[in-house]
Amino acid sequence: MTRRYLVFLVPALVLLVGTPALLGRANVVRIIQTNAAGDNAHVIDPATNKVVGVIEGVEIVHGVTSAPDGTRIYLSNESLHTLDVVDAKTLKVTSRIHLSGRPNNVAVTKDGRKVYVGIAQAPGALDVIDTVALANVKTVPVEGSIHNVYVTPDGRFAVAGSIPASTISIVDTSTDTLVRKIKMSAGIRPMTFDWNPDGSTKHIYVQLSNFHGLAVVDFASGKEIRRIEHPPIPGEHAHTDGLQGAPAHGLGVSPDGRTLWSTSKVYSHAYVFSLPDLKPLGTVFAGQHPEWVTFTPDSRFVYIGAAGDNMTFAIDVRTLKEVARIPVGQVPKRVATAVLQMD
């Protein structure tokens, strides 16, 4: 059966918009799986759950995002300290933009004109990449070295997390200046967001170093309002090796805003909650050391990189059932959804 996908904003995961630039063009949904211990990234077709392309020559890929108009994929290259620009049709690297230090994750603005790159090398920063000029135009000082960066659902802020500083830095995307900081009790790992009826950011959901679960932060006040610890799963052996200080290291809110997914490297499962009430809906096996999550734009399926299995798991969001295991590269971690322009 052919699956049909709507193109709209995927909040906090992949900022994809059905802009006029997309109209009249052939566009396809793709899942981009990076491989942390390899020199490539795999491109998955969610209609078939098959690998349909490989982006080669990007050593130690960390972050991935894509242009809203479907023409490019952006990958942060830890080996060369560059943001690598990939043509969506050919899957070839066309440009490498030098950064101020070793990069971690990346995020694109809603209009596609800027990419923010988190600089993990001390003292830490956000590099601002002009995607028209293909140039690094500004380095924004923030609090601590940066592991992950996101653009909020309304596009107004870039939100960056530091592990050593245990701080969330919030940058105004209109001025590219740091406007406030939120101090947490431990290092900042993956984050995701939900939103108010007017589209503004409601909560930050954040995973913390050495905590098996997630914290809920009110975005407006910056106050932590709740903490959820993931319980043991009956019959599952707890894994304690190779956690790298991150027993939970993958978060995502589905595009329809109805579910929150949090991965556990301890129990090899994803924990699923309803929104906005955060009621537990169940768990689903997601491979050894499951990492990041991303959704198809219609919220029907979620994809999770299983770093310990060298596979990407495809899971039905409604039934919480696995639908495919897709072999990819070495140590797959960050994964993203892209709507790419194809002829």
pLDDT digits (tens, 9 = 90+) for 138-182: 999 999 999 999 999 999 999 999 999 999 999 999 999 999 999
In a domain, 14, yes or no: no
Task: Supply the DSSP symbol for 14.
Answer: B
- pLDDT of residue 190 exceeding 80, the answer is yes
- Residue at token pair 């930050």: 204
Please report, for the domain that includes residue 69, its CATH number. Answer: 2.130.10.10
In a domain, 12, yes or no: no
Tens of pLDDT along 34-83? 999 999 999 999 999 999 999 999 989 999 999 999 999 999 999 999 99
CA distance 5 to 214: 30
* Residue range(s) defining the domain that contains residue 254: 20-342
In a domain, 218, yes or no: yes
Q: Give the length of the chain.
A: 343
In a domain, 6, yes or no: no
- Residue at token pair 């959820």: 228
Q: Which phi and psi angles does 275 have, rounded to 5°? A: -120, 145
Average pLDDT over residues 250-262: 98
- Binned at pLDDT 50, 70 and 90, residue 25 comes out as low
Q: Which neighbouring-strand residues pair with 337?
A: 31
In a domain, 2, yes or no: no
The structure's pTM equals 0.91
In a domain, 158, yes or no: yes
How many structural domains compose the chain? Answer: 1
